[in-house]
Amino acid sequence: NKQVIFKNYVNGYPKASDMEVTSDATIRLELPKDGSLILSKNLYLSCDPFLRGRMSKATEASYIESFTPGSPLSGFGVARVLESIHPDFKKGDLFWGIINWEEYSLITDTQTLVKIQHTDVPLSYYTGILGMAGLTAYAGFHEICKPKKGDTVFVSAASGAVGQLVGQYAKLYGCYVVGSAGSKEKVDLLKNKFGFDDAFNYKEEEDLNAALKRCFPDGIDIYFENVGGKMLDAVLSNMKVHGRIGVCGMISQYNRDIPEPSYALGLIILKRIRMEGFLVFEHNHLYPKLLETVLPLIQQGKINYVEDTVEGIENAPDALVGLFTGKNIGKQVVVIAHE
Ligand code: NDP
């Protein structure tokens, strides 16, 4: 049973060498009588920026536990039930939820597991568009940003797991949508695959403020915030009066000991901006609605989802750290096994 072991707490940018892929030969493919409810075969792992927080020592501000040095990482994934004594899961069922980064798992805590009922879409989608990232985009855009038809919407990290969906939901809603991303290839995707009205490569813009003015001469109604830092300051200068900012994440700050100061926060008062942070875990009740809405959109080809897939659990550490340099193009998925 290959596992990805967390070595020790991380400062600054995480490295693949902060993790180690080992083989724990002790697992037997049967359910022991030790309180385990499910034996799973793990198929897909989801690489998510929040895992960086779990690599640091927890502080009072942490909303989730740190990883334990010497133990496997855990995160969202898709798995198949090999054995089960849990009444809701039977042999052969597929589910998504929190699993250890390993080939096979003995599961005692089933709280986060969601049984997969629709298998006529790629199973890996349950790490993204139909999983945690998908719910983040769906709930964050509709519930927190409260869009109106015709709103001007800006999305940062727009080609990623969450951003590509926010942009497409905003287009379906009848908004004018612009995204930023960190390479030409990503900007092309935004315009040509996801239907953004405009997009720019923030790494090539000398002046973010000017780039936003160019794209939004009349200002921004909604900002879906994924990155923080200098981009947030530039956006604040370009928001309309009574604009809304849904704060999903601030990935540019995750590897810093001390967050960058903001020089533009005072504009929230001047422009009466409503800025609201959210955590996807408080929006789980929307998941049935997401399935009802998004499955037909996928089936009718009205929404696209781009994944960046690496094969083999050995490559999981590299895939995870790649999120923080923008190596991933689309949702970063690790395939452990195809079925
Ligand atoms: P992505 O798939 O977008 O991957 C991360 C991307 O962030 C990279 O590809 C890179 O794209 C960009 N990035 C990395 N470092 C920086 C930087 N220093 N400055 C600007 N951009 C950077 O990740 P997700 O879609 O999974 O997550 C997007 C955001 O949503 C994150 O902030 C995450 O923490 C947050 N999130 C929040 C949740 C919540 O409940 N609030 C739940 C899930 C996600 P590029 O090449 O464009 O720079």
Give the CATH number for residue 266: 3.40.50.720
In a domain, 296, yes or no: no
CA 54, CA 56: separation in Å to the nearest integer? 5
| 73 and 85 belong to one structural domain | yes
Is residue 162 within 6 Å of ligand 1 at its C-beta? yes
Residues 149 and 259 in one domain: yes
Q: Is 328 in the pocket of ligand 1 (CB under 6 A)?
A: yes
* 40 and 80 share one domain: yes
pLDDT given for residue 77 in this prediction: 98
In a domain, 298, yes or no: no
- The rounded mean pLDDT for the chain is 96
Instruction: Tell me the two tokens of residue 324.
Output: 């923080």
Is 228's C-beta closer than 6 angstroms to any atom of ligand 1? no
Q: Return the best residue to mutate from 50, 186, 251 for the ligand 1 pocket (most ligand atoms within 8 A of CB).
A: 251
- CATH code at position 53: 3.90.180.10
pLDDT at 48: 98
- Say yes or no: 275 and 259 in one domain: yes
Residues 174, 239 within the same domain:
yes
pLDDT of residue 313: 98
Do residues 156 and 69 share a domain? Answer: no
Rounded to whole angstroms, the Cα distance separating 241 from 253 reads 27
Instruction: Judge whether residue 237 has pLDDT over 80.
Output: yes
Residue with CA closest to ligand 1 atom 1: 160
Residue nearest to atom 45 of ligand 1 (CA): 182
Residue 204 included in any domain: yes
Q: Is residue 291 part of a domain?
A: no
pTM above 0.90, yes or no: yes
Question: Quick one: 116 and 144 in the same domain?
Answer: no
Q: Say what the pLDDT of residue 59 is.
A: 83
Q: Which atom of ligand 1 is nearest to the CA of 180?
A: 47
Contacts of 328 (CB under 8 A, 6+ apart): 47, 160, 308, 319, 322
Q: Give the domain extent around 223.
A: 132-281
**CA 49 to centroid of ligand 1, rounded, Å:** 6
Both 111 and 147 in one domain: the answer is no
Whether residue 300 lies inside any domain: the answer is: no
Question: Which residue minimizes the CA distance to atom 7 of ligand 1?
Answer: 157
Contact criterion met (CB below 8 Å) for 110 and 37 = yes
Ligand 1 center to 156 CA (angstroms): 8
The verdict on 70 and 36 lying in the same domain is yes
Tell me how far apart the alpha carbons of residues 81 and 68 are, in angstroms, rounded to a whole number: 26
With contact defined as beta carbons under 8 Å apart, do 329 and 199 qualify?
no
pLDDT of residue 29: 83
**Residue that finishes a domain, picked among 245, 266, 281:** 281
pLDDT at 94 exceeding the cut of 80: yes
12: left (phi > 0), else alpha (psi -120 to 50), else beta?
left
Contacts of 322 (CB under 8 A, 6+ apart): 47, 328, 332
Testing ligand 1's pocket by substitution, the residue of 45, 226, 231, 318 carrying the most ligand atoms inside 8 A of its CB is 226
Do 139 and 104 reside in the same domain of the chain?
no
Domain boundary among 248, 266, 281: 281
Residues 183 and 197 placed together within one structural domain of the fold:
yes
Domain count, the chain: 2
Residue range 287-307, pLDDT digits in tens: 999 999 999 999 999 999 999
**Cα(92) to centroid(ligand 1), Å:** 34
**289 belongs to a structural domain:** no
- 96, pLDDT greater than 80: yes
For residue 327, give the nearest of 47, 81, 137, 80 by alpha carbon: 47
Q: How far is the CA of 251 from the centre of ligand 1 (A)?
A: 5
CB atoms within 10 A of CB 242: 10
ipTM of the predicted structure? 0.99
Check whether residue 124 and residue 139 sit in a common domain: no
254: Cβ below 6 Å to ligand 1? Answer: no
List strands edge to edge, sheet with 274-277: 198-201, 176-181, 152-155, 220-225, 239-247, 274-277
Is 48 a pocket residue for ligand 1 (Cβ < 6 Å)? yes
Ligand 1 pocket residue status of 127, Cβ below 6 Å: no
Stretch 178-189: mean pLDDT: 98
Tokens 């928001």, residue? Answer: 239
Distance 163 CA to ligand 1 centre (A): 8
